[in-house]
């Protein structure tokens, strides 16, 4: 069972604000899914190698050919806020 | 001559190439239908998030001869809104086009529309879209399935000749089943993921949603191939051929009890239709046997650790800095991040980001993510063992036919159970196709065939033989 404090801790890690009325339903729903997920705890998996990739690809390299970057103004045009040469964000310190 | 809107994409391409049909007129007919659905909003099927302006785009010369294509919203398309069904990307127009879309365009496809989807492909009913739910053309009070619900409904309703979708745990196959069309998830790595707005990178795969198996083969044939921009993409061994098989002589089909037996929650009508299709396969010469996938019952649990874990990492990029939404009035940078993500993500995306973050957090990683990756190994081994005895594993694609809008939105776990029969193949990275195999209560039932990695040609041939024999009639869904 996930409690209120755990929800708030995970939300902080996830950089996600939750309103007061979102916390309890989130705890309940996460708990229900985690109860189902817990069934994998029943399996004996001690000698099993984890799958990190389903098809075998080993360190394939592509030719290192220079190509142009995206034009700066095109990328900045999609940003919520920008000045002439970068993304503009609020100050990290309140 | 037949109504051009009744032609499959392959038939349309042939007629255009032979000078019997105008690509511009075909585009105009579909565009008008798609635009009407878009204009109707949620009063219509709500299949589209964007429809091309009037006037067919210039098509490249190629096999696809200017046949129009609908593309799931999450594919980046240059200068065209690509929002992955999310408010956080509302109006975002990428500077480039996804490799898979670009390949289809270079083969002569024209971009007709972008299709509605569950937000960031998270969902099985298309009710998680920030742009409203899609309706099932067979019964407008029901869901089309998801996450590629707009793509599936558009093809079933005849609002597009065919559509591109993506499948992470069943997002092509399940909506194809619920809408009575064909949906193919290719072998992981055979189609480039470059330019797909990522959900779970180790599982995401692009594929066709089409009216028939031949169209699925045609679209896939133009999509496969290695891409320098996706290091996980692979060179498909050989070419995808047009399927022509009419018989299943000597084809060994395995029915896994774990995905078809008691306790899976398969509706009686779905079961009946599935078993009738198996009998039909036997009549075509197939050999049926039971196979065992002992770890398949644990696939859903492993999937709901792995996919949210990868999603929580992939979705970290949506922070209000580089594109999309930014919450107003934040006091500082951290406040801006957390409020932007609160305002921009819908409830299901928040749940999965939270679930994934929890599973990856300190103290829980081994119990959840580490174990889930081991379960994935066991599932892949189960399939490898099954494919020593049979050519394909067959199951119903989804346990139920299309359910009512709103029926499962209150219970995330009940919604996740839609993916019970499709998730194991995703975890194993193997190809799987859903074809319509009958109706239950007037709603389509899908049959899933899954084969070993890179067995697409044999898989398409088997699906084609069965499709021809079953002769499913989808015309009732056309609008």
At B36-46, the pLDDT tens digits run: 999 999 999 99
For A78-90, what is each residue's pLDDT tens digit? Answer: 999 999 889 999 9
Entry pTM: 0.97
For B238-297, what is each residue's pLDDT tens digit? Answer: 999 999 999 999 999 999 999 998 888 999 999 999 999 999 999 999 999 999 999 999
By three-state DSSP, how is residue B336 classified? Answer: helix
Question: The tokens of B216 are what?
Answer: 């699925």
Number of H helices, E strands in chain A: 3, 2
| Residue B184 β-bridge partners | B433
Query: In chain B, where are the structural domains located?
Result: 4-244+473-477, 299-371
Q: What ipTM goes with this model?
A: 0.95
Is B188 a residue whose pLDDT tops 80? Answer: yes
Residue B473 to residue B190: CA distance in whole angstroms: 31
Contact (Cβ atoms closer than 8 angstroms) between residue B191 and residue B167 = no
Contact (Cβ atoms closer than 8 angstroms) between residue B85 and residue B133 = no
Cβ contact, residue pair B350, A26, below 8 Å: yes
Nearest CA in chain A to B345: A16
Contact (Cβ atoms closer than 8 angstroms) between residue B152 and residue B165 = yes
By three-state DSSP, how is residue B415 classified? Answer: helix
Enumerate residues 75 to 94 of chain A having a beta carbon within 8 A of any beta carbon in chain B: 75, 78-81, 87, 89-94
Strands (DSSP E) found in B80-151: 110-115
Cβ contact, residue pair A54, B429, below 8 Å: yes
Q: What confidence score (pLDDT) does residue A53 get? A: 82
Q: Which CATH number fits domain B4-244+473-477: 3.90.1140.10, 1.10.3090.10, 3.40.50.300, 3.90.1300.10?
A: 3.90.1300.10
Q: Which CATH number fits domain A1-42: 3.40.50.80, 1.10.20.60, 3.40.50.970, 3.40.640.10?
A: 1.10.20.60
Place of tokens 């929650």: B265
CB-closest option in A16, A43, A55 to B338: A16
Q: Is the dihedral of CA B404, B405, B407, B412 positive or negative?
A: positive
Catalytic center residues of B: 72, 147, 171
Binned at pLDDT 50, 70 and 90, residue A94 comes out as: low
């Amino acid at each position: 069972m996930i409690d209120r404090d755990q929800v708030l801790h995970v939300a902080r890690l996830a950089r996600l604000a939750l309103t007061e009325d979102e916390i309890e339903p989130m705890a309940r729903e996460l708990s229900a899914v985690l109860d189902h997920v817990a069934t994998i705890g029943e399996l004996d998996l001690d000698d099993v190698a984890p799958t990190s990739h389903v098809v075998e690809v080993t360190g394939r390299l592509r030719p290192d050919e220079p190509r142009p970057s995206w034009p700066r103004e095109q990328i900045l045009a999609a940003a919520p806020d920008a000045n002439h040469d970068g993304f503009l964000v609020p100050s990290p310190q309140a | 001559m037949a109504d051009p809107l009744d032609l499959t994409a392959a038939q349309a391409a042939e007629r255009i190439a032979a000078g019997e049909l105008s690509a511009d007129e075909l585009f105009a007919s579909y565009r008008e239908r798609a635009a009407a659905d878009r204009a109707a909003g949620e009063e219509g099927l709500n299949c589209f998030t964007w429809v091309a302006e009037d006037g067919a785009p210039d098509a490249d010369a190629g096999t696809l001869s200017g046949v129009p294509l609908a593309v799931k919203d999450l594919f980046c398309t240059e200068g065209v809104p690509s929002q992955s069904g999310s408010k956080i990307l509302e109006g975002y127009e990428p500077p480039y086009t996804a490799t898979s879309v670009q390949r289809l365009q270079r083969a002569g496809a024209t971009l007709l529309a972008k299709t509605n989807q569950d937000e960031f492909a998270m969902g099985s009913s298309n009710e998680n879209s920030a742009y409203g739910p899609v309706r099932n053309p067979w019964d407008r009070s029901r869901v089309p399935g998801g996450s590629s619900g707009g793509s599936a409904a558009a093809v079933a309703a005849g609002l597009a000749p065919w559509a591109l979708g993506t499948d992470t745990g069943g997002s092509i196959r399940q909506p194809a089943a619920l809408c009575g069309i064909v949906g193919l998830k290719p072998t992981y790595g055979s189609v480039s993921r470059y330019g797909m707005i990522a959900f779970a990178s180790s599982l995401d795969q692009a594929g066709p949603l089409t009216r028939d198996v031949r169209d699925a083969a045609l679209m896939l044939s133009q999509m496969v191939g290695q891409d320098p921009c996706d290091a996980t993409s692979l060179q498909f061994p050989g070419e995808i051929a047009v399927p022509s098989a009419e018989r299943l002589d000597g084809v060994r089909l395995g029915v896994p009890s774990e995905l078809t037996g008691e306790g899976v929650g398969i509706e009686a009508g779905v079961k009946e239709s599935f078993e009738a299709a198996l009998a039909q396969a036997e009549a075509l010469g197939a050999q049926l046997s039971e196979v065992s996938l002992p770890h398949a019952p644990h696939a859903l649990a492993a999937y709901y650790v792995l996919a949210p874990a990868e999603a929580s990492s992939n979705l970290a990029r949506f922070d209000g800095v580089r594109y999309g939404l930014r919450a107003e009035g934040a006091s500082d940078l951290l406040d801006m991040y957390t409020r932007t993500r609160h305002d921009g993500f819908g409830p299901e995306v928040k749940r999965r980001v939270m679930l994934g973050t929890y599973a990856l957090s300190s103290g829980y990683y081994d119990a959840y993510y580490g174990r889930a990756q081991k379960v994935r190994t066991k599932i892949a081994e189960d399939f490898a063992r099954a494919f020593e005895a049979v050519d394909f594993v067959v199951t119903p694609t989804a346990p139920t036919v299309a359910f009512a809008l709103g029926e499962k939105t209150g219970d995330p776990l009940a919604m996740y159970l839609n993916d019970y029969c499709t998730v194991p193949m995703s975890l194993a990275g193997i190809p799987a196709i859903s074809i319509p195999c009958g109706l239950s209560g007037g709603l389509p039932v899908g049959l899933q065939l899954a084969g070993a990695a890179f067995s697409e040609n044999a898989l398409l041939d088997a699906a084609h033989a069965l499709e021809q024999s079953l002769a499913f009639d989808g015309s009732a869904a056309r609008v």
